[in-house]
Amino acid sequence: MSKIRVLSDEVINQIAAGEIIEAPCSALKEIIENSIDANARNIEVFLKNGGKSKIVVDDDGDGIQSEEDLKMCILRHATSKLSGNNLFDINSYGFRGEALPSIASISNLSIESNGRGISVDFSEISEPYVSSVSRGTRVCIANMFDRTPVRLKFLKSDNAELAKCLNVIENFSLTTDSVSFVLRTDNKTLISYRNDSLESRISKIYGVNLFEKAIYFEEKSESISARGYLFHPSHSKYSSLNAIRLFVNNRIVKDRIVSMALKIGYRNVIEGNRYPMAVLYIDIDPLFVDINISPTKSEIRFRDEQSVQRFLIKAITNNIQSFNRVSLDFNTSRAAAPDEAIANNSQSFNRGFLDFDTQTCRTTNNHNAVADHQIIDTKEETHSFFGEAIAQVFDTYIISYKRETEEVFIIDQHAVHEKMVMNKIIDSISNNENSQYLMRPEVVNVSALQMLRYDKITKTLTEFGFRIDAIGHGTRPQVEGSAAIDAFGNEGLLIIRAIPGSLSNNEAFQIIADVLSDENDEVENKREYIRKRIADIACHNSIRGGRPLSIDEMNCMIHDMENTENVFQCNHHRPSFLRLLKKDLEKMFERS
């Protein structure tokens, strides 16, 4: 007797349901997708017990036109969403043809449309019947997982399942602002998006305080376009789960390539272990993306992942510069982020371009100024965004006052100067002014694998000020005075002729050794590593806390803050200053 047999349709549907319908929110998502594909403009949802007992979705879409279609819609692999046999040419939400029969296999399902209805009792299909629903479609799902108690016990509390359903409706409201959504439960309306703009919906979902600090952006190339809202770095999260809402061709998805692009784009303004918040829309030819890699259609795969990531990194990096003048104030209750470990750097450099320099004063690492106790004329109006210095406390914090707007700023002198030094280094790199040529070239032996890695990051090393020649395999030439790194193999040669001006020889050579030995071949990771090392050096060459400054020196720093990018955070993503309004102080002293 044969041991292999074909499973029954009921079991097949239950298996499919296990892949697609994980919880009430999964079923709700599939039904709303059908409503939107049917051109609905108003969708109303009712939930009982977080959707576990009942889900009802009413829409005013095109509906199901014939009794034959009503019978067909609950059969496996039946769909009206796919015009041909090309699974990549998808321009709608649903196409797999498994959602309705999968839902029917684990619940009591009824579908009513255009005066007709049909019900399925855990895969037992009724005959069509007369319905009072004359327009659009009503889908009712009841008693989900009642006959699969093992699945039922894995569901969370009613409130937890309700929260997941809320998230589903929020996501759809952000993709289709022309569609109104209402969610009710036990005669209580929880969501009502009627005639709301996209901006209004984002504001309702994230809150006014977060949204008012977000910036909108749009970027296009020949094959891809991106738009959306980037949230302020101070609102970053430790998990990407709820931080990033990504919509590709209007479908809510998760994608590590996009998440990493966002993280890299924000790399100078948030900690490495945090994720930026963003609502991001990507439009791309359906033929260049595969949405059929997961049963729930929640994941995608781009055909050319590297091109997409490069495009997004550039777009995000360019646009977050706008945060320099968007809501620079910090909440006084905001806790500083954990201090990142700063690399142990035994050498300190005092090159000219690292100095804090303005027209009125010059401060170097060797300067031992004593705080000047003069008081400036506070009656004189100032046009500086950060006001004028009035005092220094704890030899670390500058207090400035802006009379015309009644604002007080508390500025961390080390954090601000650290950012200024870092920006000068980056500017010198961008302007190709950062290379210092060695008196004698340094010759480095590298293995074949390391030579391949070097080939991938040649452009990156050049961008940072390295000037290196690579030659083929062979024996190392004798270069007088060379002290090459011998930790490498002997398969090829790199001749280092110049290094970044902000680095010592040993530091520069160690960076090269590190990036060529790193098994992670992502170019952006190596670029980020080099930037981090430069940031550490900027930190060591900046004005420290505990050093007295004169009023003139403090004002020089304050005025230079105006033209410093991303000045609201130091290189290690801690706040650089706090901003207090008069009303804040009055509230503290209970004067309001």
Report the C-alpha gap between 349 and 504 in whole angstroms: 8
Q: State the pLDDT at residue 292.
A: 62
> According to the per-residue pLDDT averaged within each range, which of 42-46, 232-236, 486-490 is highest?
42-46
Is 301:290 a contact under the CB 8 Å cutoff? yes
Section 205-215 average pLDDT:
85
Distance between CA atoms of 137 and 390, rounded to whole angstroms? 69
What kind and span of H or E run contains 42? strand 42-48
Neighbours of 486 (CB within 10 A): 10
* Tens digit of each residue's pLDDT (9 = 90 or more) over 221-233: 988 999 999 998 8
Three-state secondary structure call for residue 102: helix
- The verdict on pTM exceeding 0.75 is no
CATH 3.30.565.10 location in the chain = 9-195
Identify the H or E element spanning 534: helix 523-540
Give the three-state DSSP class for 265. helix
What is the total residue count of the chain?
592
Mean pLDDT across the chain: 77
Candidates 3.40.30.10, 3.40.50.2300, 3.40.50.9100, 3.30.230.10; correct CATH number of 199-325?
3.30.230.10
For 85, other C-beta atoms within 10 Å of its C-beta total: 6
Name 182's bridge partners.
44, 192
Q: What is the mean pLDDT of residues 197-209?
A: 88
pLDDT band at 339; cut points 50, 70, 90: very low
Tell me the torsion sign for CA atoms 339, 344, 348, 351: negative
Q: pLDDT grade, residue 99 (50/70/90)?
A: confident
pLDDT tens across 67-87, in order? 888 888 887 655 555 455 544
Q: Taking the mean position of all CA atoms in its chain, how far away is CA 383?
A: 35
Identity of residue 407: E
Strand-pairing partners, residue 398, are 392, 411
* Of 264, 304, 265, 266, residue with least CA distance to 284: 304
3-state secondary structure at position 462: helix
Domain span(s) for CATH 3.30.1370.100 in the chain: 434-540
Of the pLDDT bands very low, low, confident and very high (cuts 50, 70, 90), residue 124 is confident
Give Cα separations from 442 to 23, 36, 565 (angstroms). 62, 64, 35
CATH of domain 352-427+545-588: 3.30.1540.20
**Separation CA 52–CA 161 (nearest Å):** 8
What integer pLDDT is reported at residue 312 of this predicted model?
Answer: 94
pLDDT of residue 492: 79
Give bridge partners of residue 535 from the DSSP assignment: none
Residue 301 backbone dihedrals phi, psi, to 5 degrees = -140, 120
Percent residues over pLDDT 70 in the chain? 73
Stronger pLDDT, 487 or 581, i.e. the higher one: 581
Range list of β-strands (E), 301-359: 301-302, 356-357
CATH 3.30.230.10 occupies which residues in the chain?
199-325
Mean pLDDT along residues 397-424: 88
* pLDDT of 279: 96
Whole-Å CA distances, 368 to 279, 397, 536: 48, 17, 23
User: Sorting pLDDT into bands at 50, 70 and 90, what band is 423?
Assistant: confident
Q: How confident is the model at residue 513 (pLDDT cuts 50, 70, 90)?
A: confident
Pairing of strands 137-142, 278-284: unpaired
pLDDT mean over 291-319? 80
Residues 6+ apart with CB under 8 A from 34: 93, 94, 99, 137, 139
Q: Is the pLDDT score of 558 beyond 60? A: yes
All residues at 6 or more sequence positions from 346 whose CB lies less than 8 Å from its CB, including other chains: none
Closest CA to 437 of 507, 484, 499: 499
pLDDT tier at 420, thresholds 50, 70, 90 = confident
Q: Is the pLDDT of residue 40 over 90?
A: yes
Helix (H) or strand (E) holding 279: strand 278-284
Is residue 443 within 8 A of residue 493, CB to CB? The reply is: yes
382, pLDDT greater than 60: no
For CATH 3.30.1540.20, the residue range(s) in the chain are 352-427+545-588
pLDDT at 335 over 80: no
What is the pLDDT at residue 224? 93
pLDDT of residue 191 exceeding 50, the answer is yes
Q: What are phi and psi of 504, to 5 degrees?
A: -80, 165
Region 53-63: what's the mean pLDDT?
95
Q: Is the pLDDT of residue 97 over 70?
A: no
Asked whether the predicted pLDDT for residue 362 surpasses 50, the reply is no
Residue closest to 275 by CA, chosen among 260, 255, 254 = 260
> Average of pLDDT values for 41-52?
95
Q: Give the model's confidence band at 579: pLDDT under 50 very low, under 70 low, under 90 confident, else very high.
A: confident
Give CATH for domain 9-195.
3.30.565.10
pLDDT of residue 133: 94
**Dihedral (CA of 72, 77, 82, 85) sign:** negative
CATH topology of domain 434-540: Ribosomal Protein S8; Chain: A, domain 1 (3.30.1370)
Distance CA 588, CA 221 (A): 51
More confidently predicted of 569 and 248: 248
